Structure 1
Amino acid sequence: MASIDILHPHSKSPKQARKAVEDVAKKLSERFDMDYGWDGDTLNFSRSGVEGRIALLADTLRVTANLGFLLSAMKGPIEAEIRRVLSDKFD
């Protein structure tokens, strides 16, 4: 099992950051049939082969995910796409 752990700085207000993460989660849900939900300031997401969370910290986002066996081979491209989306939404 492969894991992803990304820290991404941001300068958005908590409300703006939460909205941006929610927008990303909606797109992931539509595109990849992911389930997601908030637990405080952490958005948890999952689907077959992936389980993860996005934690909203004061000036940083922390994205962690565990990839199942089949998706482990795609860790590099998946991590690159996460970083791209974070840069689009939070830079």
Structure 2
Amino acid sequence: MAGIDIHHPHQLSPERAREAVQQVADKLVDKFGVDCRWQGDVLEFNRPGVDGRIALLPGEVHVTAELGFLLAAMQGPIESGIRRVLDERFA
């Protein structure tokens, strides 16, 4: 399985950071049919072929995901897309 591991710094308040992650989650649900649930300050998401987490840490968002066989071939573009969205939401 291919993995994604991104640490993205931010300077948002915890409340604003959580709102930004929720907006990302809402898009994942609408666009890809991903199941999302909060466990404390960690948003867990999954669907066939991907299992991941977005952890809210002080001053940082940590995104991890394991990609299944079919999505592993697209790891580069997927990771680039995640970085772009993080730059937009946490600027």
Secondary structure (helix, strand or coil) at the match of 1:54 reads strand
d(CA) in 2 for partners of 1:87 and 1:28?
A: 16
Match of 1:9 in 2: 9
d(CA) in 1 for partners of 2:50 and 2:29?
A: 12
Match of 2:72 in 1: 72
State the identity as a percent: 59
RMSD of equivalent CA atoms: 0.3
d(CA) in 2 for partners of 1:50 and 1:58?
A: 26
Name stretches of at least 5 consecutive residues in structure 2 with no aligned partner: none
Per-residue displacement from partner, 1:9-35 (whole Å, max 9, x unpaired)? Answer: 000000000000001000110000000
Give the TM-score of the pair, scaled to structure 2: 0.99
Give the TM-score of the pair, scaled to structure 1: 0.99
d(CA) in 1 for partners of 2:33 and 2:5?
A: 22
Aligned structure 1 segments of 4 or more residues deviating by more than 2 angstroms = none
d(CA) in 2 for partners of 1:72 and 1:23?
A: 25
Letter in 2 for 1:52: G
d(CA) in 1 for partners of 2:68 and 2:13?
A: 34
Match of 2:23 in 1: 23
Letter in 2 for 1:32: F
d(CA) in 2 for partners of 1:11 and 1:90?
A: 8
Match of 2:49 in 1: 49
Number of equivalenced pairs:
91
Tell me the CA shift for residue 62 of structure 1.
0.2
